[in-house]
Amino acid sequence: MGIMSKTSTWLLVIGVLLIFALVGWGLVTVVGKAAQTTLNPVQQVVGELSTQVAKVLNPTPTVIPDPLTIVHEVRTLARLETIQYSLEKVITAESGQGPLGFLFGDRLLFIAHGQVIAGVDLAKLSPEDMWVQNRVLYVRLPEPEVFVATLDNENSYVYDRDTGVFTKGSVDLETEARKAAVDEMLDSALEDGILEQARINAENYLWRLLRDLGYPEVIFVESTATPES
């Protein structure tokens, strides 16, 4: 009986301990879920606040065009574009350089991409510039010219900028660099013979077109040429 009594006592103790363990685990689980439920709104508020702070520190640019559009001029064009140059130019623009350049100087390195387009303006072609003699069509084309010299703004950018200790830099320096880039690209295209190639391409194109219109022979003459009497 003594042994049975001790065994029953130990079983009772073990049972009570198991009950406490289960109850404690249940309480921990409930408290954990309650804490997580309580913390979720706080974490959400903190996340939203961080997002708002990021937007303030790094705002997205907003472009608002004026709804009013003023049309100054409308013209009819007959430009035959026959050649396009795509160029890249590196421009260094600087101001305030010298012994005190490290204090008041401003220098930037601008990478410019752009196009120069040339051709012939057929609106300048008059009836007197085309005549037929002995079944030959003579054509006196207008002088070739540059129609467009512009930057590709999406691919042009300031690569580097160095300002002095006591200056924030000139607001006009990049503008001047962009103007210089357009001028340099235009000069490069002209030196490379873009106008002469524009003339050749225009003559080749119009020669095929005029032949298709029924003229068996087409000759392009100089701007000073005149019909034979």
Q: What's the average model confidence in pLDDT over 192-201? A: 97
- Which one is predicted more confidently, 188 or 63? 188
112 and 92 in a single domain? The answer is yes
Whole-number pLDDT of residue 137: 94
Q: Is the pLDDT of residue 159 over 80?
A: yes
pLDDT tens by residue, 11-30: 555 554 555 555 555 544 54
Q: What's the average model confidence in pLDDT over 161-179? A: 84
Q: What's the average model confidence in pLDDT over 58-69? A: 77
Q: Look up the domain containing 114 and give its range.
A: 79-220
Whole-number pLDDT of residue 22: 53
6 and 43 in a single domain? The answer is yes
Range scoring the smallest mean pLDDT among 58-72, 80-94, 107-121: 58-72
Is 228 inside a domain boundary? no
pLDDT tens by residue, 90-135: 999 888 777 766 676 788 999 999 999 999 999 999 999 999 998 8
Is 225 inside a domain boundary? no
Is 229 inside a domain boundary? no
Q: What's the average model confidence in pLDDT over 201-227? A: 91
38 and 86 in a single domain? The answer is no
- Residue whose entry in the numeric block shows the structure tokens 């540059």: 146
Domain C-terminal end among 43, 72, 101: 72
Give the pLDDT band of residue 31 (cuts 50, 70, 90): very low
Q: How many domains does the chain have?
A: 2
Whole-number pLDDT of residue 35: 45
In this prediction, what percent of the chain has a pLDDT beyond 70? Answer: 72
Q: What's the average model confidence in pLDDT over 80-90? A: 96
Whole-number pLDDT of residue 73: 82
Q: Is the pLDDT of residue 3 over 80?
A: no
Q: Is the pLDDT of residue 195 over 50?
A: yes
Q: What's the average model confidence in pLDDT over 130-147? A: 94
CA angle 194, 196, 199 (to 5 degrees): 110
CA angle 213, 217, 219 (to 5 degrees): 110
214 and 127 in a single domain? The answer is yes
Whole-number pLDDT of residue 71: 86
Q: What's the average model confidence in pLDDT over 173-194? A: 95
Average pLDDT, the chain: 80
Does the reported pTM lie above 0.75? no
Q: Which phi and psi (to 5°) does residue 132 adopt?
A: -115, 130
Is 226 inside a domain boundary? no
188 and 83 in a single domain? The answer is yes
